[in-house]
A and B are shown apart, each in its own frame.
Chain A
Amino acid sequence: MGQQYLGMPGKLSILAGAQAGVSDEDARILRGLRSGIEDAYEELIARYQGGVYGIVFRLLGNQNDASDVVQEVFLKIFRSVDSFREQSSLRTWIYRIAVNEAHNHRRWFSRHCCREVAVDEGIDPSESLKSAADPGRSPFEQALERENRTLIEQALDRINPVFRTAVILRDIENLSYEEIADILQVSLGTVKSRILRGRDALRRELTLEHGFAEAFI
Chain B
Amino acid sequence: MTCYSAKRQSTAFLDKHLRPRENARIAAHLNECADCAVYFEQVGSLCSGLNALPGVIAPAGLKTALRVLASRERQVVEQTHGSRWKLPWERWKFRLRVMMEPITIPAAGGLLSALMLFGTLLLAIDTNAVRASVGYEAPIMSTDDTNLVPIELRSKDVILTMSLDSDGHIQDYAVQDGTTSFTGDTARLQYNNIALPDFAGILTFAHPITSDIRIRFTPIAFRP
Q: Interface residue tally of chain A, by bracket?
A: 35 or more
Are A41 and B70 interface neighbours, CB within 8 A?
yes
Q: Which residues of B contact A153 (CB under 8 A)?
A: 53
Those of B50-68 within 8 Å (CB) of chain A: 50-59, 61-63, 65-67
- A196 and B10: CB pair below 8 A? yes
Whether A203 contacts B46 in the complex (CB less than 8 A), given A54-B55, A130-B54, comes out as yes
What chain A residues lie within 8 Å of B49 (beta carbons)?
148-149, 152, 216
Chain A residues, Cβ within 8 Å of B71:
38, 41
With A45-B63, A71-B69 already in contact, the answer to whether A129 and B17 are too (CB < 8 A) is no
Q: Is B193 an interface residue (CB 8 A)?
A: no
A-contacting 9-mer, from B72-80, B179-187, B204-212: B72-80
Known: A41-B74, A78-B73, A129-B54. A49 touches B66 (CB 8 A): yes
Do B53 and A172 have beta carbons less than 8 Å apart?
A: yes
Partner of B69 from A34, A78, A148 at Cβ < 8 Å = A78
Asked whether A172 lies within 8 Å of B51 as measured between CB atoms, the reply is yes
Asked if A88 is an interface residue, CB under 8 A from chain B, the answer is no
A104 CB, min distance to chain B CBs, angstroms: 17
Once bound together, how far apart are the Cα atoms of A71 and B68, in whole Å? 10
Which residues from A are CB-within-8-Å of B74? 36, 38, 41
Q: Given the complex of chains A and B, what is the CA–CA distance between A58 and B10 in angstroms?
A: 24
Enumerate A193-217 residues with CB–CB distance to B below 8 Å: 195-196, 199-200, 202-203, 206-207, 212, 216
In the bound complex, how far is the Cα of B57 from the Cα of A131, in angstroms?
10
Most chain A beta-carbon neighbours within 10 Å: one of B17, B46, B91: B46
Q: Can you name 13 A-B pairs with beta carbons within 8 Å?
A: A38-B74, A54-B55, A74-B66, A78-B70, A79-B91, A149-B49, A149-B54, A170-B15, A196-B10, A203-B39, A203-B43, A216-B42, A216-B45
Extra pairs beyond A67-B59, A79-B91, A212-B42 (18, CB < 8 Å): A35-B82, A36-B78, A38-B74, A41-B70, A41-B74, A49-B62, A49-B63, A71-B69, A82-B87, A129-B57, A152-B53, A174-B51, A196-B10, A199-B46, A200-B43, A203-B39, A216-B42, A216-B46
